[in-house]
Amino acid sequence: MRDDEVIGMVVGLVIFAIVAAVYIGLIVLGVTIAKRKNRSPHWMWFSVHPLGLIITLIVMACLSPLKRCPNCSNTTQQYARLCGFCGYNYETAGQFMPQQQGVYAPPPRY
């Protein structure tokens, strides 16, 4: 091999390493944003394709964070007053709303 071919290969490998490091860094950034907003980090599977990575990062940056219920660990919208799954009242910090008439409640299990 000639010297200029070796230099070209080394430059190509360095450029590839830099691009791969930036790409992996953006994926890690997207997972970090998703976890910080209580969103599923599995959305970052779209980042297999570079265009999917860009779209997913933009969407994750624009979404509002979710609130995690301390009682049942399900997520609800940030400004919700009640947990939609267990009825936990976020405003009164732990009081449960009484069952309303006409709302289906499953029979108790014994």
Indicate the helix (H) or strand (E) that contains 6.
helix 3-36
Is the pTM higher than 0.85? The answer reads no
Tens-place pLDDT, residues 47-62: 888 899 999 899 988 9
pLDDT in tens, 17-49: 999 999 999 999 999 999 999 888 888 888 888
Say if CB 39 and CB 46 are below 8 A apart: no
DSSP string, 31-50: HHHHHHTT--GGGGGGGGSH
